[in-house]
Amino acid sequence: MRSVVGLVLAVALVLAGAGVAGSDPEPYADPDVYRESAGADEGPLAGRVIVIDPGHQLGNSRFPGRINRLVPAGGFQKPCNTTGTSTNGGFPEATFTWRVARSLRVRLESRGARVILTRSSNSLREWGPCVDRRGRAGNRVGADLKISIHGDGAYGGGPGFHVIAPPDRRPWTHDIYRPSLRAAKVVRHRLRSADLPVAHYIAGGDGLDIRSDLGTLNLSDVPTVMVELGNMRDRRDARRMTSRSGQAVYANALAAAAYRLLR
């Protein structure tokens, strides 16, 4: 009898740990948690500090009260965060940005950079951080560069990326708009060099947009760009953005841009 009870308990524990066969309690989640590294003592980017901001968070939709509250965004207020978009097949922007950010982190750390991520997980149990925290990330440590990673969700817009930089807007971005614009142009060049298409449905079709309404840019005191790496609602971009090989292409291009800017 004891052996039967023990067998039943063992089976129950296995099922509890694995979940129901064929199901995932956190679809599209990534179980590992990011921990900031100190950076290497050697390498072409040794001594450099780079902030990577993976847009959104997988669990934002489960915390509407938190993500809809207003926070400072640079002379005005905006909601803390949004749920982000997804492919037509349901692959979330939050997971895409997280995976590209992790791949980019590995590439930058291998060259000696110290990397700071604005969120430490990709989980349905988490929300945020808010755009004001993302915007201020890196300010205290005097980061050399901040890259905010996103995916667009334009129905019928077609494929392509575009890069966003802040305008000269006193007192918020006057100190960073020139180096941020330079960084945006370098990022655009590296994405083009990777044979990635430029979006023609937005920003005049040249892949470069200037916006004053984004807290992530407005609250930064370090050179910052936001990049919409593709249109997740376009089937061609979606195919690339959901694949590990495609995510590596984006990470390689962003790493090349950071290297060009900071070496």
Spot the catalytic one: 93, 109, 126, 228.
228
Please tell me whether residue 145 adopts helix, strand or coil conformation. strand
What is the set of domains in the chain, with CATH numbers?
Answer: 30-262 (3.40.630.40)
SS3 204: helix
Asked whether the predicted pLDDT for residue 137 surpasses 80, the reply is yes
Q: In this predicted structure, what is the pLDDT of residue 39?
A: 65
Active site (annotated) includes residue 228:
yes
Please give the pLDDT value at position 30: 73
pLDDT tens per residue, range 98-109: 999 999 999 999
pTM above 0.75, yes or no: yes
The alpha carbon of 152 is separated from its chain's Cα centroid by a whole number of angstroms, namely 12
111: its two tokens: 């060259």
Question: Does the N-terminal peptide bond of residue 166 adopt cis geometry, omega within 30 degrees of 0?
Answer: no
- Predicted confidence at residue 10, as pLDDT, reads 45
Mean of the per-residue pLDDT values of the chain: 90
The residue with tokens 């780079």 is 50
Indicate if the pLDDT at residue 77 is higher than 50. Answer: yes
